[in-house]
């Protein structure tokens, strides 16, 4: 392909953890670009499964075919892949064999533009180019920068209030119950509560800036399990003014609750991440939501949509409906960020 990776290889590889939200380990990461290679449109990660002899598990190729179908819907012009794996040497022929098959599977998207392998995504690590114009025997003369302070990570911290986690497990740990589950959740949380919706929304909006005590957490948790109130509050994910504080509140409620309340809070967080194009983070939150309540319908729906590879723009139309609902409950908001929330 004539398209190019729009930054130095060192910069792109160092940026991967910032794009994902965490440092990948034993993973296949695909970075897809549009606009002739000028803009990242999707970053996808999958655990790299290997057989006992070190070759890629056949399931990896099935996964690649699924990812290729998703990528094809995004108008992608350039695809780069990064293998992060400390189980084989960077120069192992099995890496190149995998890259060759990956190129064939991605033929419908123009093939694999560039492929790299690095043992760990830590500062000072060298990589090897497996595929592309720069592919050659031997490691790169350059090294990775600090993934926690890369321009991509810094931008995410400033614009989204999100820092890079040291691992995917660490992100999940940020949603782990902290042993101080507040009470007050004994109610039927699969329909509508007896909560006054106007008062409930006012309580949630007041809690956005914290601090949140147990009484407030219980009130917010109850609101998130009333389907009409919850659907209205989804609008906050599309507002510049509230989405960062909403993310912090949903995370707080998830950590301080159990069962369906935890599921709803984690689902709200997953929805917010999804809209921001952070599919990996959304998937982690959905895992937590479905573990807390496998029957929580919105979590199941978002999980299906995410696994199908739907672009975040598929969720944008519902934001206006949610905003209208929220306005009727006394909180007019402007959904002003949808155009900027690209994958």
pLDDT tens per residue across span 196-232: 899 999 999 999 987 888 889 989 999 999 999 999 9
What is the model's pTM? 0.71
Could you report the per-residue pLDDT of 160-178, keeping only the tens digit for each? 666 777 777 766 667 777 7
Lowest mean pLDDT among 161-165, 189-193, 260-264, 323-327: 189-193
In this prediction, residue 158 carries a pLDDT of 63
pLDDT of 80 reads 92
Phi/psi of residue 86, each to 5°?
-100, 10
Q: Indicate whether 3 pLDDT > 60.
A: no
Residue with more model confidence, 338 or 298: 298
User: Higher model confidence: residue 329 or residue 37?
Assistant: 329
Residue 342 is predicted with a pLDDT of 39
- With b for 16 or more beta-carbon neighbours within 10 A and e for fewer, the 130-153 pattern comes to bbbeeeeeebbeebbbebbebebb
Looking at the chain, the whole-number percentage of residues with pLDDT higher than 90 is: 47
Each residue's pLDDT tens digit, 95-130: 999 999 999 999 988 899 999 999 999 999 999 999
DSSP three-state, residue 165: strand
Query: Tens digit of pLDDT for each residue in 255-275?
Result: 888 889 999 999 999 999 888
Q: Is 35 helix (H, G, I), strand (E, B) or coil?
A: coil
**End-to-end Cα distance, the chain:** 23
- Residue 43: per-residue pLDDT: 85
User: What's the mean pLDDT when you consider all of the chain?
Assistant: 84
187: confidence class by pLDDT, cuts 50, 70, 90: very low
**What is the pairing mode between strands 27-34 and 39-47?**
antiparallel
Comparing 46-50, 69-73, 247-251, the range with the smallest average pLDDT is 69-73
Task: Name which of 83, 73, 81 is nearest 25 in CA terms.
Answer: 83
Q: How is 82-130 classified by DSSP, letter by letter?
A: EEE-SSS-TT-HHHHHHHHHHHHHTGGGT--SEEEEES---TT--EEEE
């Amino acid at each position: 392909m004539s398209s190019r990776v729009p930054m130095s290889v060192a910069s792109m590889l160092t940026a991967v953890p910032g794009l994902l939200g965490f440092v990948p380990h034993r993973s296949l990461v695909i970075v897809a670009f549009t606009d002739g290679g000028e803009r990242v449109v999707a970053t996808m990660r999958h655990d790299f499964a290997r057989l006992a002899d070190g070759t890629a598990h056949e399931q990896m190729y099935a996964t690649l075919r699924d990812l290729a179908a998703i990528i094809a819907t995004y108008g992608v012009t350039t695809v780069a892949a990064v293998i992060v794996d400390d189980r084989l040497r960077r120069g192992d022929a099995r890496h190149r064999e995998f890259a060759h098959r990956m190129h064939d599977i991605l033929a419908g998207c123009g093939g694999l533009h560039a492929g790299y392998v690095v043992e760990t995504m830590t500062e000072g690590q060298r990589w090897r180019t497996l595929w592309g114009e720069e592919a050659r025997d031997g490691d790169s003369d350059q090294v990775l920068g600090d993934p926690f302070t890369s321009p991509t990570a810094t931008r995410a911290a400033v614009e989204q209030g999100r820092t890079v986690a040291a691992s995917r497990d660490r992100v999940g740990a940020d949603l782990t119950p902290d042993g101080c589950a507040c009470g007050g959740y004994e109610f039927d949380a699969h329909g509508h509560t007896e909560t006054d919706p106007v008062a409930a929304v006012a309580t949630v909006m007041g809690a956005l800036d914290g601090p949140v005590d147990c009484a407030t957490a219980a009130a917010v948790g109850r609101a998130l399990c009333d389907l009409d109130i919850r659907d209205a509050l989804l609008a906050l994910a599309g507002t510049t003014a509230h989405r960062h504080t909403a993310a912090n509140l949903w995370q707080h409620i998830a950590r301080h609750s159990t069962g369906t309340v935890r599921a709803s809070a984690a689902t709200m967080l997953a929805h917010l991440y999804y809209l921001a194009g952070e599919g990996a983070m959304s998937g982690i939150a959905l895992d937590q939501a479905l573990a807390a309540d496998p029957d929580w319908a919105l979590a199941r729906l978002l999980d299906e949509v995410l696994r199908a590879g739907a672009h975040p723009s598929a969720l944008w139309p519902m934001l206006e409906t949610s905003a209208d609902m929220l306005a009727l409950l006394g909180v007019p908001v402007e959904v002003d960020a949808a155009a900027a929330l690209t994958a």
